[in-house]
Amino acid sequence: MKYAIYARVSPRGSDFEGETSIAMQLEICRKFVADRGGTVVREESDEFFSGKDLKRPGFARIMDELESGRAEWDTLLVYKLSRLTRSLRDGADIFDKLFRQGRGFASATENLDFSSPAGRAMLGMMQVFNQFEREQTGENTRNKMMQIARRGEWPAGYPPFGYKRGARGDNVLYVDDRNAAIVKDIFEMYASATDRTQRILTKYKGIVSNSKLFIILRNRIYLGEIVYNGQTFPGKHQPLISQDLFDRVQATLPQKQFATRPKAQQYPYLLSGLLFCSACGRRMNALSAKSGAYHYYVCPECKNRISAEKADACLLDYLRNLKIPESFLRKARPLLEAEQQKALADKKPELDRLKRDLRQCEKELQKIVDQIMAMEISPPLMKRMDQKSNELETRKQELTRKISEMESELALGVDYYSIALDMLAKLQQLHDLVDSQNELPIRQAILANIERAEYEKGEIKLIPSSTISPEWLPRRDSNPN
């Protein structure tokens, strides 16, 4: 295993941080690599840089190397996760980039190691469900905005031209007299005048642009309605124009010249970017028929064509098979919790031994001090005692450091067993995610679990990500499941 080591100290300085100096971090990381029979191929460090700053020179060089595909290392190693970043959002992005480039991550003093196949699989699943949780948060926000719209209030953003907001927390729109008069005049001019667009833009130059004009003219907000997410609700605000005037304007508005094909746009293409032609090896493109009713994956080289619905159904079938039975979860959780407690208990004797050694070291140091205070010491003896004292001080510092690290590790309790417990719970949610028809998190799950898919003679072969399994999992188009 080849490692890239990254170290960082904050702007407070390495002297203030003491045992977490750059040199100390590098030394501990090198020992971590040596203990595992690995090789250090790169070392980078940033001194006096905040963990919130992603533009650190050393860190930027590592990420540039990673994203360019030139990285010769397999695993990014740090002294502690906080040395990499203190931001949860940034950490998720960094892990995502490592995962997509097939690289692992490890912490020398915390039981976090995503360099093994199992660790990378866990990392991938963590990224999938972190994305799912972000999407759920976004969905909750949209639901809240919808509730506001249903009440006839303005859900979010700047109020439309001609209206203004009330006090903080008041989502009702109130008439802005000056701009409301302009809106009424614009509708009247457009409904009655010839050469109306140019005349309106000339009259209200600097206030209304061409694009803004047509946004105003098409906006049902001026009828006293709230339109949100394609739905219309009665508004609590005062309308500025009549229905008759609005209808007369709509009848004369130019039609939009460009329109998307709704059905084609709505199809998710779950295998987009993952499906390869078995004949020539080219990546297949996602295409729709002009009608928008049919969807395909097409090879640009040999024109091989696959039904997108059939291919995507096979993929969803694969993800459904990841479900863990509830009975297994009930049995696995207590076993994993017991293993976690055992792992922590196994470390306690070593911690007790270190503390005994530290107490003995302190006794010997005190003994030297007592001897110096009790009698006159010749220069040669003083030199030997001074040398012994220095050795004991060095030993004391080393023992103190090891004890601190082990106590932090025991207190934190972060290890593979904790991650495994979390992953079991999230794997259970994956089945519900696939059946929910929520396309974006499903797509994220596919990217994390499937590396490549191929089609040949009516059979679709799914190649899972190397972090999960090296084997091919065939799924035939005719499979009932």
Report the chain's mean pLDDT, rounded to a whole number: 77
Whether 81 and 176 map to the same domain: the answer is no
Domain count, the chain: 3
425-439: per-residue pLDDT in tens? 655 655 666 666 666
Cβ-based neighbours of 122, under 8 Å, separated by 6 or more = 114, 419, 420, 423
80-105: per-residue pLDDT in tens? 888 888 765 677 778 878 877 878 88
Give a yes or no: residue 368 inside a domain: yes
What is the Cα–Cα distance from 357 to 240, expressed in whole angstroms? 84
Whether 9 and 111 map to the same domain: the answer is yes
Q: Amino acid identity of 481?
A: N
Whether 237 and 168 map to the same domain: the answer is yes
3 state SS of 56: coil
Whether 30 and 110 map to the same domain: the answer is yes
- Smallest CA-to-CA distance from 347 within 429, 428, 403 is with 403
| pLDDT for residue 478 is more than 70 | no
What is the Cα–Cα distance from 428 to 41, expressed in whole angstroms? 39
| pLDDT for residue 33 is more than 50 | yes
What is the Cα–Cα distance from 347 to 32, expressed in whole angstroms? 17
Whether 97 and 7 map to the same domain: the answer is yes
Give a yes or no: residue 455 inside a domain: no
Q: Amino acid identity of 39?
A: T
- CATH number of the domain enclosing 214: 3.90.1750.20
Contact 460, 475 (CB under 8 A): yes
Q: Amino acid identity of 48?
A: F
183-219: per-residue pLDDT in tens? 999 999 998 867 788 889 999 998 999 889 999 999 9
Give a yes or no: residue 106 inside a domain: yes
pTM for the predicted model, two decimal places: 0.36
The DSSP call for residue 324 is P
Give a yes or no: residue 343 inside a domain: yes
Give a yes or no: residue 331 inside a domain: yes
Whether 109 and 184 map to the same domain: the answer is no
Backbone angles phi, psi at 235, to 5 degrees: -95, 155
- Smallest CA-to-CA distance from 42 within 13, 20, 67, 74 is with 74
What is the Cα–Cα distance from 244 to 251, expressed in whole angstroms? 11
Contact 162, 175 (CB under 8 A): yes
Q: Amino acid identity of 363?
A: K
Whether 82 and 180 map to the same domain: the answer is no
Domain interval for residue 54: 2-115
Whether 80 and 167 map to the same domain: the answer is no
The DSSP call for residue 20 is G
Given this model, what pLDDT does residue 129 score?
52
Whether 21 and 107 map to the same domain: the answer is yes
User: pLDDT band for position 7 (50/70/90)?
Assistant: very high
Give a yes or no: residue 349 inside a domain: yes
Give a yes or no: residue 341 inside a domain: yes
Give a yes or no: residue 420 inside a domain: no
Residue ending a domain, among 252, 286, 309, is 252
Whether 9 and 109 map to the same domain: the answer is yes
Whether 109 and 168 map to the same domain: the answer is no
Given this model, what pLDDT does residue 15 score?
40
463-477: per-residue pLDDT in tens? 655 443 333 344 444
326-337: per-residue pLDDT in tens? 676 677 677 767
Whether 332 and 403 map to the same domain: the answer is yes
CA dihedral 280, 282, 285, 289 (to 10 degrees): -10
